[in-house]
């Protein structure tokens, strides 16, 4: 038993040594210093042009999706909302931003109603086709319209991850789909404390 404890202690020391001292240990992929996804400039559901500067002082979680999405989008949006709740009073220092990849169907009214399901302060952004393509390219987000079986029906394939910015507006994390609200909350807490 003593030998097992010593081995576990040694293993823990080795693993701890792998982490740079003083650097936060995020659960998401740390992309600090990445040369993409620096900002966006898109109208919100009220037509007001929004950029990262509008959310200065908040940690910002950006997710690309569409309102007709059956699973990935509502799951991710719910995780953002739940992470804000897990942070308690600090949840108010987190801004969720939903950028539609389906501006053809996602009208401003529909977007406003959609994001309201996940909290009164969630923001939805909607560019035209060219603006959407430009922002997606800058964020390295893949999306593609795929025709459905019924005439005129379609769905959107798209990147299923979130981009997380610190309160100074710097891109810090790439949060993979399905990481969970607690993991996101833990990472947001580290960014808010920095």
Q: How far apart are CA 191 and CA 8, in angstroms?
A: 30
Check the annotation: does 158 bind a ligand.
yes
SS3 76: helix
Q: What are the structure tokens assigned to 73, written together?
A: 């989008």
Tell me the mean pLDDT per 10 residues along the chain, length 194.
Answer: 39 41 84 96 97 97 97 96 98 98 97 97 97 97 94 93 97 96 97 92
Check the annotation: does 69 bind a ligand.
yes
- What is 26-193's CATH number? 3.40.30.10
Q: What are the structure tokens assigned to 157, written together?
A: 């394939």
Beta bridge partners of 64: 99
Contact present, 120 and 85 (Cβ < 8 Å):
no
Q: What are the structure tokens assigned to 136, written together?
A: 């997606």
Q: Where are the domains of the chain?
A: 26-193
Looking at residue 7, its pLDDT comes to 37
Looking at residue 22, its pLDDT comes to 63
Check the annotation: does 2 bind a ligand.
no
Looking at residue 170, its pLDDT comes to 97
Looking at residue 13, its pLDDT comes to 38
Contact present, 141 and 152 (Cβ < 8 Å):
no
Looking at residue 20, its pLDDT comes to 52
Looking at residue 152, its pLDDT comes to 86
Contact present, 6 and 13 (Cβ < 8 Å):
no
């Amino acid at each position: 038993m003593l030998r097992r404890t010593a081995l576990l202690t040694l293993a823990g020391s080795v693993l701890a040594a792998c982490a740079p001292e003083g650097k936060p240990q995020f659960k998401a992929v740390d992309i600090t210093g990445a040369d993409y996804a620096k900002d966006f400039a898109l109208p919100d559901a009220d037509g007001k042009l929004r950029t990262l500067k509008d959310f200065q002082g908040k940690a910002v979680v950006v997710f690309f999706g569409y309102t007709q999405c059956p699973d990935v989008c509502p799951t991710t949006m719910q995780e953002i909302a739940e992470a804000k709740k897990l942070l308690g009073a600090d949840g108010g220092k987190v801004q969720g931003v939903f950028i539609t990849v389906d501006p053809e169907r996602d009208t401003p009214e529909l977007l406003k109603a959609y994001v309201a399901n996940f909290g009164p302060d969630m923001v939805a952004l909607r560019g035209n086709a060219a603006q959407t393509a430009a922002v997606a390219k800058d964020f390295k987000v893949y999306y593609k319209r795929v025709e459905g079986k019924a005439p005129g029906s379609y769905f959107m394939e798209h990147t299923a991850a979130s981009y997380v910015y610190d309160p100074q507006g710097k891109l810090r994390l790439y949060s993979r789909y399905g990481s969970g609200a607690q993991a996101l909350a833990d990472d947001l807490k580290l960014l808010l404390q920095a």
